[in-house]
Structure 1
Amino acid sequence: MIQFKDVHASYDEALPILKGVSFTVERGEFVAFVGTNGAGKSTTMRLVNGLLKPDAGEVLIDGMSTTELKTSQLARTVGFLFQNPDRQICCNTVREELLFGFKALGLAGPEADARVDALISEFGFDPDEDPFLMNRGARQLLALASIVVLAPPVVVLDEPTTGLDYRECVKVMDIVRQLHEGGTTVIMVCHDMEVVADYASRCIVMSDGQVVDDGPTFEVLRNSDTLERASLVPPQIVAVSMELACAVPRLASRPVGCANTVEEMAAAIVDERSAQ
């Protein structure tokens, strides 16, 4: 469990970034943090994995304050995927990269070798390939694999789909979905509302260093006050259903006006026509 209790944080005490942030993420949740640039999302993620310590308040990981834990200790619990994989990749071959985390944690050995070999086969990597000669999508996939192989109970993703094409995005996020379905707690910062809608069950909205909304994803993404305050654009299907509800008031409380997916929208339209 991850708890933020009235957390204040900054990189320069004269310029506060977080201003009293509180929330709890339970084990096994898939939570997306959304908001404009500068809202405090990435700062929040750095507090989760201990790269930054709070100026005031508490960040607790399974009841332990991050101020009492070394970053190396937190790394056993929290895996962190940076927005830019080039800030994460540091080895000369794919296999060395996937083994790096085990060596850093003092866990290198036959079991680590076996897990790395199995993951190389599963992902279809060339173990001897130079990571820095791989394309952007492949490097992002490798950076994610370097976390997956360690099987941390919590994974934090900072804009995991930035710079990826649609196919690469789906591949990365399907791996993330599998992690979550296997019991991993996933915390994701994401600007792509379509990705948020497709994968996250809970959405926390941040603006000006504060949490301004927190709840089930589609409830949050239908809250016009939240969208306006945080300058967010809802996913297309949600926007269409909201427009329909505004244009035809009687649909507001009907499935057509509440659809969250294309499938729901199509089924609701058929039902609405049948009822007429």
Structure 2
Amino acid sequence: MIVRIDSLTFRYPNGTTALDGVSFSVEAGERVAILGANGAGKSTLARHLVGIERPASGTIEIDGRRTDGLGIAELARTVGFVFQNPDDQLHAASVVKEVGFGPRNLRFPPARRTELVESALRRTGLNELRDTHPHHLSLGERKRVALASVLAMDTPVVVLDEPTTGQDHASVVLLGNLVDDLATDGRTVLAITHDMDFCAEHFDRVIVLENGGISWDGPVAHWLAQVADMAGQTLELPQMTRLGRRLGWAGPVSTVAGFLERLASEADPAPVPSTAP
């Protein structure tokens, strides 16, 4: 397994408990969405994975090593973190310099650095913007630059904080394909998100945080089946699930592919009885 968290507790200086005994593990290649209402502790949990926050008690193990005593620079070799606000991590004078900063700082050989930077620019659709200053780009483009800078570091774990916020449809599709590709490559992806459509389409597992603890941990489809008929949910169900309910379908449908498959089956005419003797 790549990430193991055991009894993690964290309190802010004002005494507020943000995380209270959180425990879970994630295998290599898993795609895990971390959900919850504002203030549930999602971003606080993510910041622990890169050493920005340190636990009051409990342990974190990443790639076989406990994070106790490991600095942010050392953790950056294993965990790539894409902030919700890209301006919190962009600093270079051009896109290509920004994307190249991580692998250069990690002292990758020059040929490997070039390979990683070019691959990251291509995969995020930024090659034509490589010489542009990041602060001259739109929010969605800056978020892709931040993502590319993490991809270029080639970490086994990638953490995304609200990745679809401020992105247009094409960028969300590109991001979803990247998440799928990373998992295929054996890299672990954890995403903090309120975007239930993105979660349903591209993630295998859901961890729901509530009041600093885990209220659900399991497959996306099982979670949707449980919450589809529950009132008062703080997270909006995927569009396909809501549309299926409007059509009176039994059981949750969460993805576009699932919806089209169900629609085709509902539209199939009943077989005509044979009149042959």
Q: Percent identity?
A: 36
One-letter code of the match for 2:266? I
Unaligned runs of 5+ in 2: 273-277
Which one-letter code corresponds to 1:270 in the other structure? A
Partner residue, 2:253: 259
Distance 1:221 1:139 in 2: 32
Q: Deviations over 1:97-124 (max 9, x none)?
A: 1111123223363331343245445532
**Which residue of 2 is the match for residue 59 of structure 1?**
60
| CA distance in structure 1 between the partners assigned to 2:19 and 2:223 by the alignment | 21
Counterparts of 2:270 and 2:57, CA distance in 1:
58
CA positional deviation for 1:39: 0.6
How many Å apart are 1:243 and its aligned residue?
A: 6.0
Deviations 1:223-270 (A, max 9, x none): 1399657622211222344566xx6xxx74xxxx34333123213413
User: Per-residue deviation at 1:83?
Assistant: 0.5
Partner Cα distance (1:17, 1:97) in 2: 32
TM-score, normalising length: structure 1: 0.87
Amino acid at match of 1:100: F
What do the CA deviations read for 1:180-226 (whole angstroms, capped 9, x no partner)?
Answer: 22221100011010110010011111111110011110111221399
- Corresponding residue of 1:237: 240
After alignment, is 129-138 or 150-159 more displaced?
129-138
Say whether the 8 Å CA contact 2:33–2:193 is kept in structure 1: yes
**Counterpart in the other structure of 1:45:** 46
**RMSD of Structure 2 on Structure 1 (CA):** 2.3
Q: TM-score, normalised by structure 2?
A: 0.87
Consecutive unaligned residues in structure 1, runs of 5 or more: none
Note the C-alpha offset of 1:30.
0.2
**d(CA) in 2 for partners of 1:25 and 1:111?**
28
Kindly provide the amino acid, as one letter, of the partner of residue 144 in structure 2: L
Distance, in Å, in 2 between the alignment partners of 1:215 and 1:242 is 23
Kept in 2: contact 1:227–1:234 (CA 8 A): no
Query: 1:110: which partner in 2?
Result: 111
Query: Matches of 1:2 and 1:226 in 2, distance apart?
Result: 33
Q: Which residue of 1 aligns with 2:275?
A: none
Aligned pairs, number: 266
Deviations 1:7-34 (A, max 9, x none): 1012226111001111111111000011
User: Separation in 1 of the partners of 2:55 and 2:233?
Assistant: 24
- Going from structure 1 to structure 2, the CA distance change for 1:67 and 1:206 (only over 3 Å counts) comes to same
SS at match of 2:129: coil
In the TM superposition, residue 132 of structure 1 has moved relative to its aligned partner by: 0.8
Give 1:62 deviation, angstroms.
2.4
Question: Is 1:88 the counterpart of 2:89 in the alignment?
Answer: yes
- Residues 1:165 and 2:168 aligned together: yes
Cα distance in 1, alignment partners of residues 271 and 42 from structure 2: 45
More helix by share: 1
Do 2:224 and 2:252's aligned partners in 1 also have CA atoms closer than 8 Å? no
- Structure 1 43/74 Cα, relative in aligned 2: closer, same or farther at 3 Å? same
Q: Distance in 2 between matches of 1:226 and 1:71?
A: 43
SS at match of 1:17: strand
